[in-house]
């Protein structure tokens, strides 16, 4: 048992477990200590020095993120000396950060601006040191603007944790710069974990806001927004709502107010994905010729990119099912277009995603139909928050409305797609029904739920046993792939999500995105599932109707439902994955 230590923070008596940091103890006791570089997903580096505190009997002002508590410690988080030092440190940080506030995705939620007001900073006291730094663009998904970087190095930590090891340091002192590794052996997988862990939007998504705004003003186009499963439990945080607050109706109403003609739910697309994937899993289990085992999920484009570049030998293991927003967009530009008598070329589909890699995915040639992209633009959760703020739309106060039908209908299985294990559980519900001749005895597969980085289970249905694994985080995916090289038959089915906790921790989600926030977001999605009358994807009546339509339109069926993948060669990655331009 850990030893209990007695300390005082701002004269408040606190009991805490040994080996904890001052910042950690303060955080869990509701005492706020300003900080920028600290994040529970990364190691403490004490770079920003905003979290300094005063400790009785000790010289200097130690940083609370790296100072371990000791018995009898008396800590002041806001003494005159601390305030003075903190103000100086913040003004020095502003010298590292070129302000681009009007166009910054964090302009309504920026901690740095918040501290500037709180401490009455002179943000121009010191001359900007980085106004000539480069912007590094990775594909069409993420970028790092060196002129905004404050050297917290969270991006490097997360890139290494993701096992991409694509970012590194160049030079020292105030000349320090974050740059891509250009050796041809490493490449960006577009997961955006650098962006969601950057406190000042130096690492960020490549924004599509301007393009969407332009489309919204085109009267000859039909504008359709579609909402990803996890968005409804995360975007509320941008508007100061509690973690995990479900705001589906408010989201729909907000998008309508922006002038979208229709708002659909990607949960419908998730049901399509589940049906296609479950059928493919059942086929692979029955026939060796249907595809190799274990079968991998492929709805996470960051994971797909990781396989295509780092582990191409496992490409055949990826399910050929398209991802939910691509499935629903395909249905919109075929089935829906025909039903509503709209020319598909007049439809503009905007996906609201928790993910930066979806920007890359939406432009893949393999996903086109008739030479046209199915998803025209992707906005991250943060981008939509920015766009709503720009148009003075307060999502927290707007009256809820329902998503448009027919593509707003979904099962409970679709709702959980945003959490790690959700895709697996959704597919198991339908695959078990297929393999056990419709006799689905179990609806809740709790063994695959939770935020554990690697989960394994043996699923029994009828006389069959299915060995499964659920992985979140690409560093953990590498462990599983290396394990499979030694024992290829260890699993039958594997779900991999690139981001911590799955899409709820995606690279486009609100900042910060901590383990506590991710847990609350996931819990809300499971609550939606539990309350649904229909909890299996194959029982969704609209999915059944669309599948019948596709059976009649056989020339479209494979194009709408399936895709393919290919190896990304390393010399090619050097040309396409890394683009540089001067500010």
**CB atoms closer than 10 angstroms to residue 196:** 32
- Of the pLDDT bands very low, low, confident and very high (cuts 50, 70, 90), residue 438 is low
Q: Residue 576: beta bridge partners? A: none
Distance CA 233, CA 92 (A): 36
- pLDDT value, residue 439: 63
- pLDDT value, residue 571: 58
- pLDDT value, residue 544: 97
- pLDDT value, residue 171: 87
- Of the pLDDT bands very low, low, confident and very high (cuts 50, 70, 90), residue 82 is very high
HSE-CB at 237 with a 13 A cutoff on CA atoms is: 24
Structure tokens at 574: 């050097």
- pLDDT value, residue 579: 42
- pLDDT value, residue 28: 86
**pLDDT tens digit string along 534-558?**
999 999 999 999 999 999 999 999 9
Q: Dihedral of CA 150/151/155/158: which sign?
A: negative
Residue whose pair of structure tokens reads 């633009």 in the numeric block: 377
CA distance to 271, 331, 410, 440, per residue, from 542 (Å): 10, 11, 8, 21
Distance CA 74, CA 448 (A): 44
- pLDDT value, residue 124: 82
Is residue 298 exposed (0-12), middle (13-18) or buried (19+ Cβ within 10 Å)? buried
What average pLDDT does the segment 315-343 reach? Answer: 97
What domains can you pick out in the chain, each with its CATH number? 93-199+575-582 (no CATH), 210-561 (3.40.50.1780)
Q: How far is CA 244 from the centre of its chain?
A: 15
Evaluate the omega torsion of the peptide bond into residue 214 and state whether it is cis, within 30 degrees of 0.
no
**pLDDT tens digit string along 472-486?**
999 999 999 999 999
Which is more confident, 422 or 569?
422
- pLDDT value, residue 284: 94
Report the largest interatomic distance among the alpha carbons of the chain, rounded to a whole angstrom. 80
Q: Average model confidence (pLDDT) for the chain?
A: 93
- pLDDT value, residue 572: 58
Quick one: what percent of the chain has pLDDT higher than 70?
97
**pLDDT tens digit string along 6-59?**
999 999 999 999 889 999 999 889 899 999 999 999 988 888 999 999 999 999
Assess whether pLDDT exceeds 70 at residue 576: no
Which is more confident, 336 or 219?
336
pTM of the predicted structure, to 2 decimals: 0.93
**pLDDT tens digit string along 123-167?**
888 887 777 788 999 999 999 999 999 999 999 999 999 999 999
- pLDDT value, residue 129: 77
- pLDDT value, residue 581: 37
Structure tokens at 105: 């995705």
Is residue 462 exposed (0-12), middle (13-18) or buried (19+ Cβ within 10 Å)? exposed
- pLDDT value, residue 441: 67
Assess whether pLDDT exceeds 70 at residue 402: yes
**pLDDT tens digit string along 245-271?**
999 999 999 999 999 999 999 999 999
Assess whether pLDDT exceeds 60 at residue 431: yes
Distance CA 178, CA 197 (A): 14
Distance CA 531, CA 403 (A): 18
Residue whose pair of structure tokens reads 């906790």 in the numeric block: 501
Do 141 and 158 form a contact (C-beta atoms < 8 A)?
A: no
**pLDDT tens digit string along 296-307?**
999 999 999 999
Q: What is the DSSP string of 375-414?
A: --EEEEHHHHHHHHHHTT--TTTSPP-PPPSSTT---HHH
- pLDDT value, residue 434: 83
Listed in order, strand segments (DSSP E) in 64-165 are 74-76, 134-138, 142-145
């Amino acid at each position: 048992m850990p030893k209990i230590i007695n300390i005082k923070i701002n004269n408040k008596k606190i009991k805490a477990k040994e080996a904890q940091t001052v910042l950690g103890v303060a955080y869990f006791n509701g005492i706020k200590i300003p900080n920028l570089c600290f994040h529970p997903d990364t190691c403490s580096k004490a770079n920003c020095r905003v979290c300094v505190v005063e400790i009785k009997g000790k010289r200097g002002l130690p940083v609370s993120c790296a100072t371990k508590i000791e018995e009898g410690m008396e800590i002041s988080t806001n003494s005159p000396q601390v305030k003075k030092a903190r103000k100086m440190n913040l003004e020095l940080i502003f010298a590292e950060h070129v302000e681009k506030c009007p166009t910054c995705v964090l302009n309504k939620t920026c901690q740095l601006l918040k501290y500037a007001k709180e401490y009455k900073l002179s943000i121009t006291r010191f001359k900007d040191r980085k106004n000539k730094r480069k912007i590094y663009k990775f594909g069409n998904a993420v970028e790092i603007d060196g002129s905004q970087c404050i050297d917290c190095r969270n991006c490097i930590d997360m890139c290494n944790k993701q096992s991409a090891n694509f970012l590194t340091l160049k030079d020292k002192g105030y000349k320090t710069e974050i740059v891509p590794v250009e050796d041809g052996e490493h490449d960006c997988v577009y997961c955006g974990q650098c962006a969601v862990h950057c406190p000042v939007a130096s690492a960020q998504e490549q924004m599509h806001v301007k393009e969407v705004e332009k489309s919204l003003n085109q009267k000859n186009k039909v504008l359709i927004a579609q909402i990803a499963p996890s968005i409804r439990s995360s975007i509320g945080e941008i508007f100061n709502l509690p973690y995990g607050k479900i705001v589906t109706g408010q989201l729909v109403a907000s998008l309508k107010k922006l002038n979208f003609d229709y708002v659909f739910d990607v949960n419908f697309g998730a049901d399509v994905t589940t049906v296609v994937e479950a059928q493919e899993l059942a086929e692979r289990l029955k026939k060796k010729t249907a595809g190799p085992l274990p079968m991998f999920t492929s709805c996470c484009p960051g994971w797909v990119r990781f396989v295509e570049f780092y582990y191409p030998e496992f490409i055949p293991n990826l399910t050929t099912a398209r991802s939910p927003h691509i499935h629903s967009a395909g249905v919109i530009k075929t089935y829906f277009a025909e039903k509503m008598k709209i020319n598909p070329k007049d439809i503009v589909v905007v996906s609201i995603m928790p993910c930066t890699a979806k920007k890359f995915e939406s432009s893949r040639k393999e996903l086109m139909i008739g030479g046209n992209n199915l998803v025209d633009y992707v906005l991250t959760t943060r981008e939509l928050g920015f766009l709503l703020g720009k148009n003075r739309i307060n999502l927290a106060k707007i009256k809820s409305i329902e998503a448009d039908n027919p593509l707003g209908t979904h099962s409970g299985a679709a709702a959980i797609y945003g959490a790690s294990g959700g895709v697996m559980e959704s597919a198991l519900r339908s695959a078990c029904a297929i393999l056990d001749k419709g006799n689905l005895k179990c609806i809740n597969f709790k063994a695959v739920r939770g935020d554990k980085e690697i989960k394994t289970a043996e699923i029994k249905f009828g006389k069959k046993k299915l060995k499964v694994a659920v992985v979140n985080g690409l560093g953990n995916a590498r462990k599983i792939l290396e394990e499979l090289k030694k024992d290829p038959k260890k699993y039958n089915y594997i779900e991999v999500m690139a981001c911590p906790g799955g899409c709820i921790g995606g690279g486009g989600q609100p900042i910060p995105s901590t383990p506590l926030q991710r847990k609350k977001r996931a819990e809300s999605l499971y609550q939606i599932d539990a309350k649904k009358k229909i909890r299996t994807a194959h029982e969704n009546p609209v999915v059944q109707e669309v599948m019948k339509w596709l059976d009649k339109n056989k020339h479209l069926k494979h194009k709408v439902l399936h895709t393919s993948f290919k190896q990304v060669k390393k010399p090619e990655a050097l040309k396409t994955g890394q683009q540089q331009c001067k500010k």
